[in-house]
Structure 1
Amino acid sequence: MPARLLTGIGELVTFDPAHDGELGLVRDAALLEVDGRVTWTGPAACAPIADADLVDDAAGAAVIPGFVDSHTHLVFGGDRASEFEARMAGRPYAAGGIRSTVAATREATDDQLRSRLARFVDELHAQGTTTFEIKSGYGLTVDDEARILRLAREVTAETTFLGAHVVPTEYAGDPDAYVDLVVGDMLDACAPLARWIDVFCETGAFSVEQARRVLTAGAARGLGLRLHAGQLGPGDGVALAVELGAASVDHGTYLSDADVSRLAASTTVATLLPGVEFSTRQPYPDARRLLDAGVRVALASDCNPGSSFTSSMPFCIAVAVRDMGMTPAEALRASTLGGAEALRRDDVGHLRVGARADYVVLRAPSHVHLAYRPGVPLVARTHVA
């Protein structure tokens, strides 16, 4: 690959402590990429132009690391627009709507699912996302869960086995028998296709005891741990996530003081999903409370057809700043470096020397415009190394 120098950057966000402030800002900056990796960042006046085969001019635009979306459900069939419409008319969200997507996904062909997934990946790139996770969970049979993960692996290395999403209709009378399937034949089929295992630990989905069975079985197969918890009400999911050393516990709308203290004393990332609260009219999680306590925080889209059908990380940033108590800098960090921490990745989410050269050129002079101009397509270019 040719060495590429991106110069003329009005504001470069690196998260490199060698540069200015919490964002590692460099103004009037340049970045050198060699073989897909960042090898130098600094003032454009000092750029190693002689080392570059190609020189690209950002014309004064801001450049940020590519977004890291650590929670999505992008492989599914069907549509739930009518559910959204009803919810906006006053019907509350419940986890049971997942089963309608399960039915549609089972009926869809591989080519149909693959084609839709490709469109979603295009959406992600167009909005600045360069690294993303995809969960299963809309098949809930051995073959369908494996199929979803196989398709997801065609577009990302960050795949998550979520067979414990909800109890499917055919096991409604015996949820423990379904958990037996998840930790048995389903895990056998899916573990080779996944990096992570996840459970929806919530009323209407899986109990803490059932979640423990699933997560410990996944850990025994070498999978990293993730957990949905605290979306619909308080519970013991966060305590379980911290106890088991999960990389991330996601949603966190309802957290006790003990939950916050546990998270602050752990390496588990609290991944907040503002698209969910926007789309369900639930209370937004209190990001300020978590940040002030020293909790590691990520933002992710939770793109799915039921509770958060958005793939836009800039939208999530704007909502987090407007309604969750985050500053623009905190929201940008949570959607880049925070997402990388939630995926236990040190090569993405920043532009320090050695990182993947995944970056976004904005149609704006500053990262603040991501929150300042909500809904405006500010991503001029997404560069994926």
Structure 2
Amino acid sequence: MTSTLLTGISELWTLDPDLDEPGTAATDAQVLRDAALLITDGQVAWYGPADEAPSADDTIDLEGRAVLPGWVDSHTHLVFDGDRSGEFEARMAGQSYAAGGIQVTTDATREASDARLEQLVRERIDQAVAGGTTTLEAKTGYGLTVEDEARAARILARLREAGQVDAVTFLGAHLVPGEYRNRAEEYLELVIGPMLAAVAEHCDFIDVFCEDGAFTREQSARVLVAGREAGLGLRVHGNQISAAQDGLGLAVELGAASVDHLNHLADGDLEKLAESGTVATVLPACDLSTRAPLAPARELLDAGATVAIASNCNPGTSYTSAMSFCVTTAVLQMHLSLAEAIRAATRGGAAALGRSDLGHLGVGARADVHVLDTPHAIDLAYRPGMPLTHRVWRAGHEHL
């Protein structure tokens, strides 16, 4: 057993689940001052006042910096090649976002070699971790053929085995590709048949873009039921462009782990989510990039829903893995308190992945530590855009 003691911590945001109080994002006991944290064999072994710290094999003085759990990014699309900066520029000049832009990335991704795709994903993971993200979900969804979806799933599964990705999601139902134009039902049969069979052993979840321009509620239900029968957990892209296809309602009805986007809600949707076990995942960077109405994170929390914040890192609508930026946006523009935003970007994301060992620094949790280069976590919002990540440990190993 090897142990490392982190001391000199000005604020230690443990978000320890054992100290939860109903209706409180973070109790005083979950945010310690002048604290220390002991890591043993990749897990949190102890935390408390610095003057009560036990001995360890190694001691690191963080010199008065704040410490958070690593960000848990529960929604990313990392396996892609190609460039869509022109599409983004056009959107910023006034063109509206539509689901069909995904085809541009699909074409480039199909042409890329396995080695190139894996290298691109590794680079994106390194960028995310450098910004404090220690847990990543990643989706397929830019191949949209049996062969290309299977290789994306294999790449992500290898990275999961290497400890770089935590959850792999099959998103064959991302868009009807160009070669199946006007033949959506035929493509759907491919997704829930040969494609699902080819990827299921590599994946943890199945997802669907339940939206106008992508898949209807009925089609989405078929995808999710097939995935569940294959042993996969369920996720839904829903209510991004409108509430017409009721992705939120479908997610709740089928017991999905999360429903993500949620820019447009219908009457009763807040109550549905609050009464369910489905996590409401908001994607602030995507909302800004598409100039969409910000998802109603404040209203979701007030209604009693479990809220997660994720990056939605993808080449078309949110080309960033900067979770700190998402937290900043949640505080400044979505009206969350700092504690609510931090919890949503850590514990909330962990809940969306069904993980109780992540997103906090309670004893027994995986030692995912995000050290800020400031004594005060509020600087995430008070000093927007500043590079505040100082050091990062994932499962007790420092990211260098």
- Contact in 2 for aligned 1:66/1:382 (Cα 8 Å): yes
Structure 1 residue 74: deviation in Å?
A: 0.5
Counterpart position of 1:196: 205
Counterpart position of 2:167: 158
Structure 1 residue 23: deviation in Å?
A: 7.4
Residue 347, structure 1, aligned to residue 351, structure 2:
no
Structure 1 residue 322: deviation in Å?
A: 1.2
Structure 1 residue 157: deviation in Å?
A: 3.4
**Matched residue of 2:377: which SS?**
coil
- Contact in 1 for aligned 2:270/2:303 (Cα 8 Å): yes
Counterpart position of 1:229: 238
Counterpart position of 1:207: 216
Q: Distance in 2 between matches of 1:257 and 1:286?
A: 13
* Residue of structure 2 aligned with 1:360, choices 357, 370, 374: 370
Structure 1 residue 30: deviation in Å?
A: 0.5
Structure 1 residue 381: deviation in Å?
A: 0.5
Q: Distance in 1 between matches of 2:166 and 2:272?
A: 29
Counterpart position of 1:297: 307
Q: Distance in 1 between matches of 2:79 and 2:45?
A: 35
Amino acid at match of 1:198: D
Q: TM-score, normalised by structure 2?
A: 0.94
- Contact in 1 for aligned 2:19/2:29 (Cα 8 Å): no
Amino acid at match of 1:196: F
Amino acid at match of 2:5: L
Counterpart position of 1:81: 85
CA separation of 1:22/1:70 partners in 2, compared to 1, >3 Å: closer, same or farther? Answer: farther
Deviation digits for residues 269-325 of structure 1, max 9, x if unmatched? 000001111111111111111010001000000000000001100000111111111
Deviation digits for residues 103-140 of structure 1, max 9, x if unmatched? 00000111111111111011011100000000000000
Please, which runs of 5 or more residues in structure 1 have no aligned partner? none
Deviation digits for residues 53-100 of structure 1, max 9, x if unmatched? 111111110000000000000010101000000000000010000011
Q: Distance in 2 between matches of 1:167 and 1:84?
A: 21
**Matched residue of 2:268: which SS?**
helix
Q: Distance in 2 between matches of 1:352 and 1:328?
A: 20
- Contact in 1 for aligned 2:135/2:166 (Cα 8 Å): no
Amino acid at match of 2:11: E
Residue 178, structure 1, aligned to residue 187, structure 2:
yes
Counterpart position of 2:23: none
Counterpart position of 2:262: 252
Amino acid at match of 2:197: D
Which range moved further: 17-26 or 127-136? 17-26
Q: CA RMSD in A?
A: 1.1
- Contact in 2 for aligned 1:13/1:25 (Cα 8 Å): yes
Counterpart position of 2:226: 217
Counterpart position of 2:35: 29
**Matched residue of 2:210: which SS?**
coil
Please, which runs of 5 or more residues in structure 2 have no aligned partner? 21-25, 160-164, 396-400
Amino acid at match of 1:31: L
Structure 1 segment 277-288 matched on structure 2, within 5 A: 277-288=287-298
Counterpart position of 2:283: 273
- Contact in 2 for aligned 1:13/1:23 (Cα 8 Å): no
Deviation digits for residues 323-358 of structure 1, max 9, x if unmatched? 111111111100001000000001110000000001
- Taking only the aligned residue pairs, the percentage that are identical comes to 56
Deviation digits for residues 143-170 of structure 1, max 9, x if unmatched? 1001111111232130000000000111
Residue 328, structure 1, aligned to residue 338, structure 2:
yes
Counterpart position of 2:196: 187
Structure 1 residue 173: deviation in Å?
A: 1.7
Counterpart position of 2:128: 124
Q: Distance in 2 between matches of 1:345 and 1:62?
A: 24
Structure 1 residue 257: deviation in Å?
A: 3.0
Q: Distance in 2 between matches of 1:62 and 1:193?
A: 37
**Matched residue of 1:333: which SS?**
helix
- Contact in 2 for aligned 1:157/1:195 (Cα 8 Å): no
